[in-house]
Amino acid sequence: YVLDQRAIEWRSSMHIVLLVLDADAVAPAGIASGKGFWNGDYDLCMSLKVDNKVFNYTEYNDDRIPIRDVSLHANFKAQYYRVIILALDGFTITFGVCAPDSCKASDVHQMLNDGETSFGVISVENPTSGRGLIKDDPGAIVALCIISIFVAIVLGATAMDIFYITPKRKQHEKEAEIYKETTSKVNHAYDEHGTQATSFTSKNQPNGVYYTEKVSNEANHTYTTLNQEKVLDEVNHVYTTLHLNDARKEYASTNGVTNGSVKNVTPGAKKEDAATNGISNGNVKIVTANVPLPSHKPKPYSPGVGIQIILAFSVYSNLPQLMSVDAPKGSYLALNCIRFLSMAYIILGHTFQLGIYLGDMGVSLENYHFWMYPEYYGKYHNRALTNMQLAVDSFFLLSGFLVAISFLKTLDRQGGRLQLKQMGLYFFHRFWRLTPVYMILIMFLATLFKYTGDGPLWPLRMNEVEGCRMHWWTNLLYINNLYIPGPLCMGWAWYLANDMQFYIAAPVFVFALYKKPVVGYILTGLSFLGSIIAISVLHAQGKGDFVQDYIKPYTRIGPYIIGIWLGYFIWRTKA
């Protein structure tokens, strides 16, 4: 059939409405097996906008008889809402609803609860509410300024390194290489009387030649062939060697030296044509600019302290070092393999664990209740994944091992004595190596992170962000695993806190092992045994959770103690 003009206009005006409905979530297959997260089309919903359009349509009664014509004026943007409803047996379903932005979350809640069919709505959230704009957030502006300053310093330091420091360093390296060449050649140059030369021709001096073989005084022989040897391909640094030729004196070669280069001419020319700076009457003359021979090796370029501080931010200098696979002498290369395997193991386990549950949102993804516990945690063959957190202990072991080895070697160098300066540097170096970058990350998380994303899964309330805004100082002091006044800031940073606390305590254990091994073994053994007892008691009391057990130093020090024992054994046996 043929649509009339009115029907075409109606379909065109209703197109935006259909798109809004299309962005709503629809029920997928597999609900009974636990599929409880229906996103809908977030991007489509947030892109829809109606600018002053009039929707014309006709209302009909139940018998499809027209009642009246209606004109609806619309001007709105679409807004995505995340709805959580209660299903059977405590199972929740989360789905997306696309509605005009004139609707509040409470309106959507009322619409779903008060309609002909009640959905048992638990909550309705606008994932974009409360974000605001960066320009209205003083904390975010300050953070951007600080980060911009660091970026500017990095760019400036890199530019200075490339265009100023590196050329000067290469120039000094070239001078050192020239010196190396001249010490083997110029220092053996001779003048016409057979004495050693005392001067050389510097760069950019014309007609500069060193003859590096002593002249023969045979009457009927002369040196007619000049063999050119260039050092570093420098045009104005020419070193020549004279070789004996049986040609008679009257057939001496013309050996013109022009602009620092040597021109070889066949020995067919007569004596009177010989150049004054070449061979004359069997004598060799050195053309020189009267510059003294180098008396010492040029020192490598060493910029001042201020320049070195700036260069610490240079990408040009630091990137090759960061990407280098070279290891200093005495390194334990096998540790890199342990680090890699442990890191891969931890990432694999967290991919399963955290990819299923969104803790900050308080909602689960598909099949959480139906798969996580009965399948993932319940089946024996998954034990390798569900116990992946034990791989963290390998890092504690490595840390204890390296600290023990380093500290014992230092004690050896110092005759078994502790020095105040050495201990101060021991603690300061660890704090300074970790803390600046650590604090920058916390600042970013507390101020800017919430502006970095959006979507149906983007959390409305970020516990990590709130924890960093309120309790960042506990991370600065590395006590965030002991003092927890509220939400954790960067909850995964519990490892840094433990490692710092073990690092502070390690000198007591290692010094005791060095001075009195029996005392050292008693101290470390009691600490190891105490850790096992603490873990057992906490689990017996039902407190074996993340906060009370998993992140505490008295439950995690065991592997660190084993690392100290291993380091002491390797040092003692000189393995």
pLDDT cut 90: percent of the chain above it: 39
Per-residue model confidence as pLDDT tens digits over 252-281: 333 333 333 333 333 333 333 333 333 333
Rounded CA separation 225/38 (Å): 91
Per-residue model confidence (pLDDT) at position 297: 66
- Residue 300 tokens read as 């490598």
Strands (E), 61-183: 66-86, 92-100, 121-125
Q: How far apart are the first and last CA of the chain?
A: 92
Residue position matching structure tokens 């004109």 = 71
Q: Pick from 220, 233, 317, 226: which is nearest to 271 by CA?
A: 220
**Using an 8 Å Cβ cutoff, are 177 and 303 in contact?**
no
- Residue 497 tokens read as 């806190």
- Residue 537 tokens read as 């008691």
**Using an 8 Å Cβ cutoff, are 574 and 557 in contact?**
no
**Using an 8 Å Cβ cutoff, are 382 and 372 in contact?**
no
Per-residue model confidence as pLDDT tens digits over 166-185: 998 888 887 777 766 655 54
Q: Pick from 295, 314, 311, 315: which is nearest to 303 by CA?
A: 311
Rounded CA separation 47/65 (Å): 36
**Using an 8 Å Cβ cutoff, are 251 and 318 in contact?**
no
Question: What is the residue-wise DSSP string for 484-507?
Answer: -SSSPSSGGGHHHHHHHHHHHHHH
385's CB contacts (< 8 A; 6+ apart) are 348, 349, 352, 376
Rounded CA separation 276/248 (Å): 18
What is the DSSP secondary structure assignment for residue 377, as one 8-state letter? Answer: I
Identify which has the larger pLDDT, 503 or 263.
Answer: 503
Alpha-carbon torsion (107, 109, 113, 119), positive or negative: positive
pLDDT band per the 50, 70, 90 thresholds, residue 512: very high
Residues of the chain by 3-state class (helix, strand, coil), percent to 5: 50, 15, 35
pLDDT cut 70: percent of the chain above it: 72
H-run or E-run covering 441: helix 420-447
Rounded CA separation 260/203 (Å): 9
Parallel, antiparallel or unpaired: strands 92-100 and 222-230: unpaired
**Using an 8 Å Cβ cutoff, are 74 and 50 in contact?**
yes
Burial 207-225 (b: 16+ CB within 10 A, else e): bbbbbbbebeeeeeebbbb
Per-residue model confidence (pLDDT) at position 13: 56
How many CA atoms lie within 13 Å of 152's alpha carbon, on the beta-carbon side? 6
**Using an 8 Å Cβ cutoff, are 274 and 255 in contact?**
yes
What is the DSSP secondary structure assignment for residue 214, as one 8-state letter? Answer: P
Per-residue model confidence (pLDDT) at position 115: 66
Other CB atoms within 10 A of residue 374 CB: 10
What integer best gives the mean pLDDT of the chain? 76
Per-residue model confidence as pLDDT tens digits over 448-485: 998 888 888 887 778 888 999 999 999 999 999 999 99
pLDDT of 159 over the 80 cut: yes
At 217, the amino acid letter reads N
Strands (E), 267-372: 279-280, 283-284, 291-292, 357-358, 363-364
pLDDT of 241 over the 50 cut: no
Per-residue model confidence (pLDDT) at position 533: 97
Per-residue model confidence as pLDDT tens digits over 13-65: 567 778 888 999 988 887 777 777 888 999 999 999 888 777 777 888 878 88
Burial 506-517 (b: 16+ CB within 10 A, else e): bbebbbbbbeee
**Using an 8 Å Cβ cutoff, are 557 and 403 in contact?**
no
Per-residue model confidence as pLDDT tens digits over 387-442: 888 899 999 999 999 999 999 999 999 998 999 999 999 999 999 999 999 999 99
Per-residue model confidence (pLDDT) at position 461: 75
Rounded to the nearest 10 degrees, the angle between the axes of helix 138-160 and helix 420-447 is 120
Per-residue model confidence as pLDDT tens digits over 484-493: 998 999 999 9
Residue position matching structure tokens 């110029």 = 186
- Residue 157 tokens read as 């330091």
Per-residue model confidence as pLDDT tens digits over 340-387: 999 999 998 888 777 666 544 444 555 566 666 677 777 888 888 888
